[in-house]
Amino acid sequence: MSSTARSVRLDVNGFFSHMIGSYGFDGHDLDGVVPRLSAAVADLDAKRRSGALPFYDLPYDSAAIAACNALASELRAEFDTLVVLGIGGSALGTKAVLEGVPAASLAGGMRVIVADNIDPASFSRLLDGTAGVDLSRTAFNVISKSGGTAETLAQFLIAREKLMAHPSVGAARWARHIVVTTDPVSGPLRALAKAEGFRSLPVPAGVGGRFSVLSSVGLLPLAAGGVDIEALCAGARHADTLCCVADPRENPAALHAGLLFLALRERGCGIHVLMPYSDGLLRLAEWYAQLWAESLGKAHALDGSLVETGQTPVRALGATDQHSQVQLYVEGPRDKVVTFVRVEAHDGELTIPAAYGDKEEISYLGGLRLGDLLNMEQRATELALAESGRPTSVLTLSRCDAASIGHLFHLFEVQTLVMGALLGIDPLDQPGVEAGKLLTYGMAGRNGYAADAERVRAMLARKRDDLVLG
């Protein structure tokens, strides 16, 4: 295999018995799942052609890409900072790219800050200037597909007030600082955009939050931040050519999903660790954690009983977490698959100087490149897990840049859909988060949710004081 022509490679040797011994799979195991994988790939292809999976088309939407670049240019001309107000799928992809691409590639972009929580300590520091944000030079991109996300609306209301109260913004100009990304037709944010005259972009119909990074949700803030969003989309398009191959043995998304499914069902591996050996890719692992958890963690009826399924994603960071998690991975319960992400050519490479030639515990490091040491540690951890019979896979990026991150976005999205098909669940919904929303509305005193407030009171009244220790 030639590595030069491939920006991202997937190595699944670590699932098989020739690498990890009797706990691994053999060709027969894989044969058993191939027909279901073939059917899943064919079904995805049919759904895509019918328009039921519009996220597939996002990286090909040159009009949307151009619109994001154009609005980003406007914003760059007027402001120097863009604060993204959004949470979950409205934030994680943007963070993944901004931290993943080489810092130097963002030169010329705005500073982009993603505010994806409602902790008052963080949000007050963002708005009061402590963190170096000058509101008169700051735009806010308010992102919520439904337009009704409580956290995002709360942030928006606070930011709105601060802008209105700012001496050089005020009631006449604050609306110019707001850009809304939401449903093209419905929802409270769309209504506000019309009423207040905010600039806005649509979230395309049928694209859920965790599949939306290559829509205006991610592309506007990324373009504003200086990311080459065309390269990002080109990486996704390249992955698409690989992930629509009919033969699952030649399709990385299908092959990986099939092996993760076998690990879950045949070996009880309920945990999938994604462990990049790259600081910048840690946020990508967090984006993946949403995709895998929220898409696959589902209860569904099967033959009259309730099946609760899913695989818990865990993000780890190499080499750091070798000193935190690897003891557990090597010796603990056999409930995990670890997928490493490895970067071949590191940005900012450094050579470790030779010194202290008389001290063997130090001198062996002299002359090594730091990134090579990092990659040796990745290989050592992979092989130590193999020696202890634990399954692994490795994604190798020739470089960590916008194209390779776009590639990973698409690869993981398709892998998730294939896994959902194998598990027999709908990977596109998230019914399990509704209960918590209703209970919050109840506590917040929202009209129409008095019964939920009463449920909270009744449950809290059941708590026993002797089970609360000081």
Within 8 A by CB and 6+ apart from 152, the residues are: 85, 86, 87, 90, 142, 143, 144
Considering only residues 120, 167, 304, 357, which one is a binding residue for a second copy as defined by CB under 8 A?
A: 120
The half-sphere exposure of 105 on its side-chain side, counting CA atoms within 13 A, is 20
User: What is the token pair recorded at 29?
Assistant: 């195991």
The answer to whether residue 256 is catalytic is no
Task: Of 320, 297, 293, 323, give the one whose Cα is nearest residue 308.
Answer: 297
Nearer to a second copy, 67 or 386 (CB): 386
Within 8 A by CB and 6+ apart from 295, the residues are: 210, 416, 417, 419, 420, 427, 428
Min. distance of Cβ 172 from a second copy in angstroms? 17
Parallel, antiparallel or unpaired: strands 298-302 and 305-309:
antiparallel
Do the Cβ atoms of 221 and 75 come closer than 8 Å?
Answer: no
Nearer to a second copy, 67 or 373 (CB): 373
Residue 141 sits in the site that holds a second copy (CB under 8 A): no
Min. distance of Cβ 67 from a second copy in angstroms? 26
| Residue list 391-450, contact with a second copy (CB under 8 A) | 400, 430-433, 435-441, 443-447
Considering only residues 89, 204, 235, 391, which one is a binding residue for a second copy as defined by CB under 8 A?
A: 89
Min. distance of Cβ 264 from a second copy in angstroms? 9
Catalytic residue among 166, 344, 377, 437: 437
Nearer to a second copy, 13 or 69 (CB): 13
Which DSSP letter does residue 361 get? H
Catalytic residue among 99, 151, 286, 294: 294
Task: Of 319, 316, 315, 298, give the one whose Cα is nearest residue 307.
Answer: 298
| Residue list 363-392, contact with a second copy (CB under 8 A) | 364-366, 368-371, 373-374, 376-377, 379-381, 383-384, 386-388
Nearer to a second copy, 72 or 109 (CB): 109
Identify each DSSP E strand in 29-122 by its residue range: 81-85, 111-115
Considering only residues 23, 148, 176, 234, which one is a binding residue for a second copy as defined by CB under 8 A?
A: 148
Nearer to a second copy, 54 or 102 (CB): 102
Which helix (H) or strand (E) covers residue 29, if one does? helix 27-50
Considering only residues 145, 336, 342, 410, which one is a binding residue for a second copy as defined by CB under 8 A?
A: 336
| Residue list 235-274, contact with a second copy (CB under 8 A) | 242, 249-252, 255, 270-271
Considering only residues 42, 70, 205, 362, which one is a binding residue for a second copy as defined by CB under 8 A?
A: 362
- From the CB of residue 136, how many other CB atoms can be counted at a distance below 10 Å? 14
Residue 325 sits in the site that holds a second copy (CB under 8 A): yes
Within 8 A by CB and 6+ apart from 39, the residues are: 421
Nearer to a second copy, 28 or 463 (CB): 463
Residue 108 sits in the site that holds a second copy (CB under 8 A): no
Quote the CA–CA distance of 345 and 400 in Å, as a whole number: 8
From 43-51, 55-63, 219-227, 279-287, span contacting a second copy (CB under 8 A)? 279-287
Residue 463 sits in the site that holds a second copy (CB under 8 A): yes
Considering only residues 16, 23, 36, 234, which one is a binding residue for a second copy as defined by CB under 8 A?
A: 16
Min. distance of Cβ 77 from a second copy in angstroms? 26
Considering only residues 346, 391, 408, 416, which one is a binding residue for a second copy as defined by CB under 8 A?
A: 346
Do the Cβ atoms of 424 and 222 come closer than 8 Å?
Answer: no
- From the CB of residue 157, how many other CB atoms can be counted at a distance below 10 Å? 10
Q: Is the dihedral of CA 374, 375, 378, 379 positive or negative?
A: negative
Considering only residues 60, 73, 327, 426, which one is a binding residue for a second copy as defined by CB under 8 A?
A: 327
Nearer to a second copy, 71 or 91 (CB): 91
Q: Is the dihedral of CA 153, 155, 156, 158 positive or negative?
A: positive
Residue 335 sits in the site that holds a second copy (CB under 8 A): yes
Nearer to a second copy, 157 or 246 (CB): 157
* CB-neighbour burial class of residue 171 (10 A; exposed 0-12, middle 13-18, buried 19+): exposed
The answer to whether residue 360 is catalytic is no
The answer to whether residue 437 is catalytic is yes
Quote the CA–CA distance of 53 and 60 in Å, as a whole number: 14
| Residue list 157-216, contact with a second copy (CB under 8 A) | 157-158, 160-161, 188, 191-192, 209
* CB-neighbour burial class of residue 103 (10 A; exposed 0-12, middle 13-18, buried 19+): exposed
From 36-44, 51-59, 135-143, 460-468, span contacting a second copy (CB under 8 A)? 460-468
Active site residues: 294, 323, 437
